[in-house]
A and B are shown apart, each in its own frame.
Chain A
Amino acid sequence: MAVIDATEGSGRRRARFLKPLSGVLRFAVVILTTYLGLLAVTFFIGRVVPVDPVLAVLGDRAPASAIARVRAEMGLDLPLWQQFLLYLKQVLSGNLGNSVLTSRPVLEDVMRVFPATLELATFGTIVGTAIGIPLGVLAAVKRGSITDQVVRLIGLAGYSIPIFWLALLGLVLFYAKLHWVAFPGRIDVTYEYTFTPITGMLLFDALIQREWDVAWDVFRHIVLPGCLLGYFSLAYISRMTRSFMLNELGQEYIVAARAKGLSEQRIIWFHALRNAAVPLVTVVALSYAGLLEGSVLTETVFSWPGLGLYITNSLQNADMNAVLGGTIVIGSVFIALNLFSDFLYRTLDPRTRVK
């Protein structure tokens, strides 16, 4: 008995000593394994698709000797596991290969197009959250009323109307008829060569450089696609907010809050919403990640030079390096956002904190 106790005690002591370390370690292991999985998937997709990278580089009229040489240069004659290690080494050193289409390094291309998508997605998520959450709360509080029906209809419409159709309709109305918004692209040609971006998120760049006229022009470009994506995420966020709020408002602590004499406003916006915010974090993060993948349809309609458009173009031209590079970026964004929402989850809900 005594022996067992002693070992248990020392084990516990060691565990306590390792605790802060093991937290970081677990974190690192989770990221690394997820990343490794992501790279393995992109690698094998790259090898399975019927696109011959050698032919993509040389064209189908090259002599057989040149094809064999390039194949060896690209390491394609090695066994698959060696190819994978080679691929890992390249990716980890930041080399995603060259794009056949633009003949520039894929990483450079992606760094150029990703800020456009990031800016658009952020704009859309801010709009969707800022309007979607209050609408969802309102619908839950006035459950079954006209307000509730209207909010649900707005949500349903956002779910079911094809976004490109709304986009074209929006262009006809706000661009062609009313001239309220600018089109196409992100910025007017007159500014395109005079304005030097810093981060590539033009609205942000223009604002911190106090270039107000540029900022206004960029805003006129982003407002329509941004609001459309915002509407799309609003549809999802308001629906989820409504159902989370209904769940919270039925809890016993709401009765207790009323028994304390708190005002309805405080009960709804402070107590119920703070509890509903916990699962909402995941919902908002997921919808944000969805927009960050690059909304191909929106980017196509608005000629928005973002990640979605880039990957689609590359795909249509069998530019596998570019497609896989883009996929890795999207995967990284997903992993990062998941970690961030986990972190937020912990700050919002004391029950999930590890003491």
Chain B
Amino acid sequence: MTLLTVENLKVHYPTRTGLVEAVRGVSFTLGRERLGIVGESGSGKSQTGRAIMGLTPPSALITADRLDYAGIDLLRASARQRRSLRGGRIAMVLQDPKYSLDPVMTIGKQIVETLRTHARVPGDEARRRALEMLEAVQIRDPERVYDLYPHEVSGGMGQRVMIAMMLIAGPEMLIADEPTSALDVTVQLEVLSILDRLVRDRGMGLIFISHDLRLVSSFCDRVLVMYAGRVVEEIAAGDLAHAKHPYTRGLIDCVPKLGEDRHPLPVLDRKPEWAQ
């Protein structure tokens, strides 16, 4: 079943020097599966995610032939309708928990806030469900963490809190925008496995935005490779070794291998015609 249909999505920003084209015609569909979007900085992968969420700044011009979530035309939906979708049916996990949690509010209250925005839940039940959610992201002592402030937890724990906060209202789709890039390598895999299990158990659709090709290929079913605001290749994660596009091949070649002594290191090729 298709959750999200994106056809020819464009995100433009008018500036003094002209129109900046951040996303230039991206198309894909997403079912209850895990789709990875990879690309360099500035390739438009985050902008694609934010356009779907409706979180681009007011100056952004968003056009698409179709931008459709479970039968709802996102481009025509009212602000109120989009707001109830956000957090309620489409969730998003941001990059760095250090900056994306409100510093003056306890963790528990922030989780409860999401739930009570989208469902009529009495206070004590909301608390109970928030504690359950903290347990679901494998926080050992939920009662204690519930009353902590964001600066009192580590990065890995912060990101688990973030996941709990975004998933508590039971969304069907999750956009994870570089969810582990700000974390230590040692906790990256832990957070990823928690995310993976929740998405799998709840049968959610996932868009996993990352610059880490290796991570995406091991974690997702399908991979979109973006370059300069366009999708240059769509490929099953298992077939990555047989990627055809020279840009994708270049990305794969840049991944260092253990025990290999390469001189000189390959440099990523960027040809203007790929952006056409």
Contact = CB atoms under 8 A, between A and B. Distances in A.
Interface in A237-262: 251-253, 255-262
Q: Which of B103, B152, B169 has the most CB of A within 10 A?
A: B103
Given A261-B86, A261-B118, A252 B151 contact: no
A259 B94 contact: yes
Interface in B65-104: 83-88, 91-92, 94-96, 99-104
Interface stretch (A103-111, A177-185, A346-354): A346-354
A334 B114 CA distance: 42
Contacts of B95: 252
A41 B250 CA distance: 72
A274 interface: yes
B83 A263 contact: yes
A331 B96 CA distance: 45
B94 A260 contact: no
B53 A259 contact: yes
Interface string B91-123: 110111001111111000000011001100000
Contacts of B165: 256, 260
B104 A252 contact: no
A278 interface: yes
A253 B151 contact: no
Given A252-B94, A256-B94, A350-B149, A261 B104 contact: no
A126 B152 CA distance: 35
Contacts of A271: 102, 105
A120 to B, nearest CB: 33
B83 A261 contact: yes
B266 to A, nearest CB: 34
Contacts of B251: none
B55 interface: yes
Contact of B99 (A251, A258, A261): A251
B137 interface: no
A253 B85 contact: no
B86 A252 contact: no
Given A252-B94, A253-B99, A278 B104 contact: yes
Given A261-B87, A261-B117, A262-B113, A275 B103 contact: yes
| Range class of the B interface residue count | 20 to 34
A274 B103 CA distance: 10
Interface residues of A, number: 20
B141 to A, nearest CB: 17
B84 A261 contact: yes
Given A260-B113, A260-B114, A255 B86 contact: no
A263 B81 CA distance: 11
B157 to A, nearest CB: 16
B102 A257 contact: yes
Given A350-B149, A350-B151, A351-B149, A259 B92 contact: yes
Given A252-B94, A351-B149, A351-B151, A260 B117 contact: yes
Contacts of A275: 102-104
Given A256-B94, A259-B91, A350 B114 contact: no
B51 interface: no
B107 to A, nearest CB: 11
B166 interface: yes
Contacts of A258: 55, 86
Interface string A320-355: 000000000000000000000000000011110000
Nearest to A258: B55
Nearest to B118: A261
Contacts of B99: 251-253
Interface in B37-58: 53, 55
B100 A252 contact: yes
B13 to A, nearest CB: 16
A332 B87 CA distance: 51
A349 B84 CA distance: 30
A79 to B, nearest CB: 54
B127 to A, nearest CB: 17
B83 A259 contact: no
Nearest to B83: A261
Nearest to A348: B104
Given A260-B113, A261-B84, A351 B103 contact: yes
Nearest to A252: B99
Contacts of A351: 103, 149, 151
A261 B151 contact: no
A153 to B, nearest CB: 24
Q: Which of A257, A259, A278 has the most CB of B within 10 A?
A: A259
Contacts of A259: 53, 55, 86-87, 91-92, 94, 166
Contacts of B85: 261
Contact of B117 (A262, A274, A349): A262
Nearest to A349: B104
A255 B166 contact: no
Contact of B101 (A253, A261, A349): A253
B84 A255 contact: no
Q: Which of A260, A275, A351 has the most CB of B within 10 A?
A: A260
Interface string A295-331: 0000000000000000000000000000000000000
26 contacts: A252-B96, A252-B99, A255-B94, A256-B101, A256-B165, A257-B102, A258-B86, A259-B55, A259-B87, A259-B91, A259-B94, A260-B86, A260-B113, A260-B165, A261-B86, A261-B87, A262-B83, A262-B87, A263-B83, A274-B102, A274-B104, A349-B103, A350-B104, A350-B149, A351-B103, A351-B149
Given A260-B117, A261-B169, 6 more contacts: A258-B86, A262-B113, A275-B104, A278-B104, A349-B103, A350-B149
9 tightest A-B CB contacts, nearest first: A261-B87, A252-B99, A261-B86, A260-B87, A256-B100, A350-B149, A259-B92, A252-B100, A260-B114
